[in-house]
Structure 1
């Protein structure tokens, strides 16, 4: 029986149950072990105020290293780019819709404005990346820090507590949330650049557990691995974590070429820098993206 570690949020449990079902297709039985992380316990602080980089993963990784669980399921975008000694990523899932979506209270829609929101509109997000991109595309908005699970954050727009919120499409789709009472804006991920690894689930295990690694490799999606490796290498080279105002998105086309879009704000209040690069190979691509991000002219 494989013991799977997971956070206890509705989305985290959906992801763990998905991995369970995938393992079952290969005749492998498993059970879930729910573990609370720092990010779950501390709900009153923004991500940039929490200590360290792995505030949704560390406690689960500690349990994995201690042998209390056999593998762990994470949202890839929550995982620090450097694995703790003794742990490896054994599989990456399919990629769900990668973009962020803006959910707007129906009475606050202002058509003709960016994101259909007027100047001074409040928009909920605790992500520095989303705040920087929103400022670039619509300087008149008023970002408001929000925490909590996906339904809790969505409710802030539904009730009118805020004019709008920004959430990842993947979570909304996986939870099959009813958006019919909200106006939904889906900006292109090439413009509203997502977090590295957004929309992907990662299955982590112990490096020494070769048998478990072989079993989990049955779930791996190689092209997703190639593209997210580019994204996460950029994040790693920038020495960033979840709180860095950095978006990176990589696509692989049918000819085998890689296309990368990146957006970065070098400091609080700084203008957004954007880069788009394409190559026939991944070799040197993250390094080229970082070089341009650090020297790119700011967006006016």
Structure 2
């Protein structure tokens, strides 16, 4: 158990922070706790760690497991049971529909969202373009493999599971893989930036919805916690997250189908690029849309914020808006929806349907949340504190 500080925050004697128990997850949770500590110097807190389903199943590709809450469900059960007050997630792990009564109280400043290539030491001077023909690239992501198969048809892509430490060992200690493709953010947070051989820009591989951002989930009615989290949220990253998650939700994509984005916040505009691919990368639909964020855009009624904001807890794909951001988040939410609908009108639904059907062949049974977001399994969870 870790605790620190000796005062209260928002009337709470102790804030319990839930986390997965991997080294990267704990590093990220410590980052969140330190951010909370900066805005509440006398914060008294402890980190409660646990394994999730995604951590326990290591011999099956993520896309084959079938659950939408692979790395979040156990944490959310602990949150619902009030054995923790907040939980820290990689935003890309969070489904776009949260369980009833739960919200994302803060999205922290995003680390580099791009994907990165980690080469086997013998290929340290190479890029994907210069690797020998038939080199094996390890990735657990259909999104990455679909895009990269399209760009590099002479390379082979093979699933690789495990935490970052395990994946690096699989790369370095054998000749099974010529390279890995991983989220740059995790590699950087682990202190291994020097191992990155190549960053993949959006013309090679667009990133996952929410990639590089940390989300803090809490109970909807916990006003004391929400007040604290509002102080650590990053405005630009939050707007990006809303647009990306609205895009994903409208497409009904996920880890079982290749969906990717690239987002850019400027001083007075937000640009969202989104795409869908077939599993083999042969089919691709990509489109880009931009909205103004500083001045009202009267070109489309659909992008105008509602005239009234309800007094209940308004969220955008689960994210609680900062008070000064409600209008821009409303517009970002609509941007994501509009971009997704444009792709659907061009046939994205057929590509996604085929990808999901192809991916579910011989998949193991799934354990997932109910359609309205309620958590099914109410059993008590064993937890560790760290």
Specify if TM > 0.5.
Answer: yes
Within the candidate set 250, 255, 273, 2:285 is matched to 273
1:158 deviation in Å?
A: 2.5
**Counterpart residue number, 1:94:** 109
**1:114–1:295 distance in 2 versus 1, CA, 3 Å:** farther
CA deviation after TM superposition for structure 1 residue 168, in Å: 0.7
Q: Which residue of 1 aligns with 2:269?
A: 257
Q: Distance in 2 between matches of 1:116 and 1:268?
A: 21
Partner Cα distance (1:22, 1:44) in 2 = 35
**1:58 Cα offset (Å):** 0.4
Q: Which has the higher strand share?
A: 1
Pairwise CA distance, 1:179: 3.6
Give the structure 1 partner of residue 308 of structure 2.
Answer: none
Alignment RMSD (CA, Å): 2.1
SS at the partner of 2:200? coil
Q: Conserved in 1, the CA contact under 8 Å of 2:107 and 2:233?
A: yes
Tell me: higher relative CO, structure 1 or 2? Use CA pairs within 8 A at least 6 residues apart: 2
- What's 1:205 paired with? 218
CA distance in 2, matches of 1:147, 1:222: 33
Pick one of 145, 151, 174 that aligns with 1:137.
Answer: 151
Question: In the TM superposition, what whole-angstrom CA distance separates every residue of 1:177-222 from its partner, at most 9, and x where no partner exists?
Answer: 2645xx6011213541100111000000001111111112111111
Quote how far apart the aligned CAs of 1:126 are: 1.3
CA distance in 1, matches of 2:125, 2:217: 44
Residue 51 (structure 1) aligns with: 66
Q: Does 1:290 align with 2:359?
A: no
**For residues 156 and 116 of structure 1, what CA distance do their matches in structure 2 show?**
22
Moved more, 266-275 or 94-103: 266-275
Q: Is the 8 A contact 2:105 2:229 kept in 1?
A: yes
1:227 to 240, 251, 255: 240
Alignment partner of 1:6: what SS? strand
Task: Say yes or no: does 1:63 pair with 2:75.
Answer: no
Mind listing any 5+ residue stretches in structure 1 that lack a counterpart?
Answer: none
Instruction: Give the distance between the partners of 1:115 and 1:156, measured in 2 at CA.
Output: 22
Retained in 2: the 8 A contact 1:109–1:117?
no
Tell me the equivalent position of 1:196.
Answer: 209
Q: Structure 2-normalised TM-score?
A: 0.72
Task: Extract structure 1 runs of 4+ deviating beyond 6 A.
Answer: none
Return the offset for 1:269.
Answer: 5.6
**Contact in 1 for aligned 2:247/2:339 (Cα 8 Å):** yes
Give the structure with higher Rg (CA).
2
- 1:11 is the counterpart of 2:24: yes
1:296 Cα shift?
4.7
- Report Cα offsets for 1:70-113 as digits up to 9, x if no partner: 000000000000010010000011100110011122434686x7
Distance 1:200 1:233 in 2: 16
What is the rounded CA distance, in whole Å, between the counterparts of 1:156 and 1:185 in structure 2? 19
1:72 aligns to what? 87
CA distance in 1, matches of 2:110, 2:74: 25
Q: Does residue 152 in structure 1 map to residue 202 in structure 2?
A: no
1:139 CA drift (Å): 1.3
Quote the residue 1:248 is aligned against.
Answer: 261
Q: Secondary structure at 2:256's aligned position in 1? A: coil
More off after superposition, 212-221 vs 155-164: 155-164
Aligned-residue offset at 1:280: 1.6
Normalising by the residue count of structure 1, what TM-score does the alignment of the two structures yield?
A: 0.91
Equivalenced residue count is: 294
Deviates more, 1:150-159 or 1:6-15: 150-159
- Of 131-140 and 242-251, deviating more is 242-251
Contact kept? 1:78, 1:242, Cα under 8 Å = no
- Equivalent residue of 1:130, what SS? helix
Q: In the alignment, is the contact (CA less than 8 A) between 1:246 and 1:265 conserved in 2?
A: yes
